[in-house]
Amino acid sequence: MRIAIASDHAAVELKADLREHLIELGHEVADLGPETADRVDYPDFGYKLASVVADGTAQFGVALCGSGIGISIAVNREPGCRCALVSEPLSAALAREHNDANVIAMGARLTGVDMAKACLDAFLSTDFGGGRHAGRVEKLSHPAL
């Protein structure tokens, strides 16, 4: 799979760890930055990530910032993205199974690297359940339905 990953300055180290983890798992990774811990604005990187997921350049996205909250809000401004902020593997799996999330968000100041890897693994190994969830997911991108 092709997976895009982006962060703000607070999550540069976690981004590097998760990028390497994804590569070890055999995924193609598009690192959208930043490269250093110099201060940046998370919306800029959230919007960049959302763009490549929404247009299909990447199948999934990984969004990281200090808390995971700000960047997840930025990603969710794109109607083609369903970004779920998670902190443990069950919520990561349910985000895929029930909500067909295509972006996972985590907070580097709140989630350790081992837990972040476990969340990412659960997210990527879970398929969307469809069925009763499909109509609800459709409404996330088309509220008038």
* Residues belonging to the active site: 65, 98
The rounded distance, in Å, linking the Cα atoms of 55 and 81 is 10
DSSP letter (8 states) at residue 50 = H
Residue 23 identity (one-letter amino acid): I
- CA distances to 31, 34, 68, 137 from 12, in Å: 11, 7, 13, 31
Q: In sequence order, what are the residues at sequence separation of 6 or more whose Cβ sits closer than 8 angstroms to the Cβ of residue 12?
A: 34, 35, 36, 37
Residue 71 identity (one-letter amino acid): I
Terminal Cα-to-Cα distance of the chain (whole angstroms): 31
